[in-house]
Amino acid sequence: MNTYAVMGASGRTGNRLAHRLLDAGHRVRVLGRSASRLDDLSSRGAELALGAADDADYLSQAFRGVDAIYALLPFDPAKPGYLATQRRQGEAMATALRVAGTKRLVFLSSLGADQASGTGMIQPMHDQEARLRTIEGLDITFLRPGDFMENQLGAVPVIRSEGIVVNALDPDLAFPMVATADVADAAFDAMTDPGWHGHLVREVLGPRDITMREVASIIGASIGRPDLPYVQVSYEAMAQALQGAGFDADSAVMTVEISRALNEKRIGSLAGRNPSQAGATPFERFAQIIAAAVAAQ
């Protein structure tokens, strides 16, 4: 039995990872800001460590004495100051890993983290990978997932109100899209495998590349509207739409920068798919979750 710490344990990847570690009989320390949002894990015996991701003292305590850590940089797109917050959290994480003497880390990064600039919201991942690589004696797996399938849940209000799927992405651009459950499972594999050392990059790509035209068609089929169209809009219009949905203005622009970088093929897989990704969630299955959200709203 090992002891693991999981950041963002009430969130999408962290919650599934923490449950899987408990299922496997390990001790798990779960990090987050709210005890009630971690009830499902504490009631199974997980140890709570409550605090904010930019508090190095708190993180140092929470990281102490565990065999491996799952870490991420949380963000709230509605809040201003994304870049400064990510930097503050990133520095706190690095300080805490040093103080705690951590030996093993799985860090949730992103495809595109190889690029130093021009990737909008992904850019802090590049900086954080570089920051973490300077910590001596720390083995790190950098998980670099593609676009989360869950992002498509943001399309639900417009599907309902206008009967279209809207984005700034080229309709025929095929890009990697992955369910967060599969990211959590990749994290589980990395956390529990003692056989790797040094600095590893593991892309988590989902079962196949997919285009927005296909996304609209698959969602359409799942909600009984087989002709659901995909409409490509300008970067400016998309940024405005995101602001209308509650995004901070800078976060909206930086989110659209990801689409621009994908369209210009500056973000993509460097390694290609490998057989371990064969069982990943297809978008056809994930679309059932979108269909339920469309029906529920």
Ligand X SMILES: NC(=O)c1ccc[n+]([C@@H]2O[C@H](COP(=O)([O-])OP(=O)(O)OC[C@H]3O[C@@H](n4cnc5c(N)ncnc54)[C@H](OP(=O)(O)O)[C@@H]3O)[C@@H](O)[C@H]2O)c1
**231: which 2 tokens?**
């409409």
Q: Does 74 bind ligand X (CB under 6 A)?
A: yes
Contact pick of 5, 69, 93, 145 for ligand X (by CB under 6 A): 145
Quick one: DSSP state of residue 122?
A: G
Q: Does 14 bind ligand X (CB under 6 A)?
A: yes
Stretch in the footprint of ligand X (CB under 6 A) among 127-135, 145-153, 245-253, 276-284: 145-153
Contact pick of 5, 18, 22, 53 for ligand X (by CB under 6 A): 53
Stretch in the footprint of ligand X (CB under 6 A) among 26-34, 159-167, 215-223, 233-241: 26-34
Contact pick of 13, 123, 255, 277 for ligand X (by CB under 6 A): 13
Nearest residue relative to ligand X (C-beta): 11
Contact pick of 69, 96, 108, 181 for ligand X (by CB under 6 A): 108
- Could you tell me if 34 and 11 are in contact, meaning their C-beta atoms sit under 8 angstroms apart? no
CA distances from 151 to 85, 148, 179, 284 (A): 21, 6, 9, 15
Work out how close the CB of 226 gets to ligand X at its nearest, in angstroms, rounded to a whole number.
27
Q: What is the rounded CA–CA span in Å between residue 149 and residue 167?
A: 14
Work out how close the CB of 185 gets to ligand X at its nearest, in angstroms, rounded to a whole number.
13
- Could you tell me if 128 and 109 are in contact, meaning their C-beta atoms sit under 8 angstroms apart? yes
- For the chain, helix (H) and strand (E) counts, in that order, are 11, 12
Give whichever of 147 and 182 is closer to ligand X, judged by the CB atom. 147
Stretch in the footprint of ligand X (CB under 6 A) among 9-17, 168-176, 269-277, 280-288: 9-17
Restricted to residues 258-297, the positions that interact with ligand X (CB under 6 A) are none
Lateral strand order in the sheet of 68-71 = 47-50, 27-32, 3-6, 68-71, 104-108, 139-145, 199-204
Contact pick of 148, 175, 188, 286 for ligand X (by CB under 6 A): 148
Q: Does 147 bind ligand X (CB under 6 A)?
A: yes
Residue indicated by tokens 């460590």? 49
Q: Does 176 bind ligand X (CB under 6 A)?
A: no
* CB contact set of 271 (below 8 Å; sequence gap of 6+): 201, 203
Q: Does 34 bind ligand X (CB under 6 A)?
A: yes
* CB contact set of 133 (below 8 Å; sequence gap of 6+): 140, 199
Q: Does 180 bind ligand X (CB under 6 A)?
A: yes
Q: Does 73 bind ligand X (CB under 6 A)?
A: yes
**CA 296 remoteness from chain centre:** 25
- Residues forming contacts to ligand X in the complex (CB under 6 A) are 8-14, 32-34, 37, 52-53, 72-75, 108, 110, 145, 147-148, 151, 180
